[in-house]
Structure 1
Amino acid sequence: MGLISGLLLLPLAPVRGVGWVADRLIDAAERELYDPDVVRGRLAALNDALDRGDIDLAQFEREEERLLDVLERRPPSLHRPAS
């Protein structure tokens, strides 16, 4: 980036910084959403809730199906090209 373009684009630096932070947050959220260990932990907590009677069988089956779908599906790519 040249000196002139750097000076002209300087007012946009905070916007680019916010965009970069947003991208990092999205990446972290996707990693947590699709992390098999996290999903298995949620399944275990769901089983515990059913055993305690906190949820009924229908709620358990709906949530279990959703979690198993998440576990089976992997996003195409968790990593975006660096910008």
Structure 2
Amino acid sequence: MGLITGLLTLPLAPVRGVVWVAEQLYAQARRELDDPATVRRRLAELEEARQSGALSPEEADRQEEELVGRLWEARRTSGGREV
């Protein structure tokens, strides 16, 4: 970046900083959301809720499908390694 470009875009620096922070937060949230350990823990919680009757069978099945899909996606993106 040249001197002139740097001076002209200086007022945008706070915006670029906010965008960078938002991207970092999103990336961290995705890592935590897709973490296999987190998904397995959520599956265990789901099973407990199913057994206690806190969730309807249909809702439990829907959530279970979503969580298993996340596990498969994590396995696929990790190159087939055990996750």
Q: TM-score of the superposition, structure 2-length normalised? A: 0.81
Question: What is aligned with 1:12?
Answer: 12
Counterpart of 1:24, as a letter, is Q
Matches within 5 A, 1:1-83: 1-74=1-74
Provide the C-alpha distance between the structure 2 equivalents of 1:15 and 1:24, rounded to a whole number of angstroms.
14
State the Cα deviation string for residues 15-48 of structure 1 (Å, max 9, x = none): 1111101110110111012100110111011011
- Superposition TM-score, scaled by structure 1 size: 0.81
RMSD between aligned residues: 1.8
Percentage of matched positions with identical amino acids = 52
Unaligned runs of 5+ in 2: 79-83
Q: Deviations over 1:48-74 (max 9, x none)?
A: 111211012222111111110111013
Higher relative contact order (CA 8 A, sep 6+): 1
Unaligned runs of 5+ in 1: 78-83
Specify the code of the residue in structure 2 equivalent to 1:32. E
Number of equivalenced pairs: 77
- Separation in structure 1 between the aligned mates of residue 12 and residue 69 of structure 2, nearest angstrom: 41
Letter in 2 for 1:49: A
Q: CA deviation at 1:7?
A: 1.1
